Amino acid sequence: MSVLSAESRREYEIHRYPALIYVLVPVVAIVLQAWLPRILGRFIWFDLPLVVTVFFALSRRNPIQGSILGGVLGIFEDALTGHAIGINGIAKTLVGYLAASVGILINVENHAVRLIMTFVLSLVGSATYFFVVRFLLGLTIDTNWLTELYKAIGNSLIALVVFPVLDRFQIRD
């Protein structure tokens, strides 16, 4: 795993996509995240907005854009819940920032790296979520880390499938 300077790597491996992809993919992720539970019931072991956030953060290698994208997707997730808006926003903002920051440092073209990154960032997002709920808002939450582990595995598997598909929309010079 080669380590380059952040600026040079960003300029070297930045991925660009059509504008429609930047809009459509997050919307589809939010919609599916809201719609699929009706079909799958309790087996919601994935977080599509988080996967999309990680993908674009790794691809764009821009922590600001990753943070903003994560924050927006998180806020929209919160907006669909009955909870306070901002809980998922904070978690996704942090995940986007970390993904973009790590993507600057390492080569994330490898599928195994993407798999591990998604898995780890999913756990970070879950930890952040619980931290905010428990310590910032002072709310009681039923914490089941096994479920969060399954969710991290599910996100990794989805990323393993979705990332190559989304890479096909990459604008190549």
Partner 1 sequence: MESFVVRYRNLLVLLALLVAQILGLATQVRRVNKEQSGDGSDVRLIRLWANAIVSPPERILHFSGSGISWFWNNYVDLRHARQENAELQNTVDRLRLEQAALLEDAKQGQRLQALLNFQQKYIYKTVAAQVIGSSGTDQSRVFYIDKGKNAGIDRDMAVITADGIVGKVREVYPRTAQVLAINDQTSGAGVIMESTRIRGILRGNAKGQPQIEDVIRDQRIKSGEKVLTAGGDEIFPRGLPVGVVDSIANDPERDGFVQVIVKPAAHLNQLDEVLIITSTEPRFPPDEQKDMAATEALKGAEAEQQKTSEGMAEKLPGLIDPKLPPDQQPLNDTSNPNPVSRPPMAIRPDRFTPGNAVTPAVSTDSQSGDNAPAATTPSAPKKPAVQKSPSTPQNGDNAPATAAPSAPKRKPAAPKPPDPSPNATPASTPQSDNPPGRTP
Q: What residue ranges bind partner 1 (CB under 8 A)?
A: 27-28, 30-31, 34-35, 62-64, 67-68, 71, 75-76, 79-80, 84-87, 89-90, 93-94, 97, 100-101, 132, 136-137
Cα–Cα dist 159/125, whole Å: 15
DSSP, res 16: B
Cα–Cα dist 99/118, whole Å: 9
CB of 69 to partner 1, least distance (A): 11
User: Is the Cβ of residue 3 or residue 64 nearer to partner 1 in the bound state?
Assistant: 64
CB of 172 to partner 1, least distance (A): 26
Cα–Cα dist 85/163, whole Å: 28
User: Is the Cβ of residue 63 or residue 156 nearer to partner 1 in the bound state?
Assistant: 63
Question: What phi-psi label fits residue 95: left (phi over 0), alpha (psi between -120 and 50 degrees) or beta?
Answer: alpha
Give the helix ranges, DSSP H, for the chain: 6-13, 19-40, 48-60, 63-79, 87-105, 111-131, 145-167
User: Is the Cβ of residue 8 or residue 144 nearer to partner 1 in the bound state?
Assistant: 8
CB of 49 to partner 1, least distance (A): 11
CB of 63 to partner 1, least distance (A): 4
User: Is the Cβ of residue 21 or residue 153 nearer to partner 1 in the bound state?
Assistant: 21
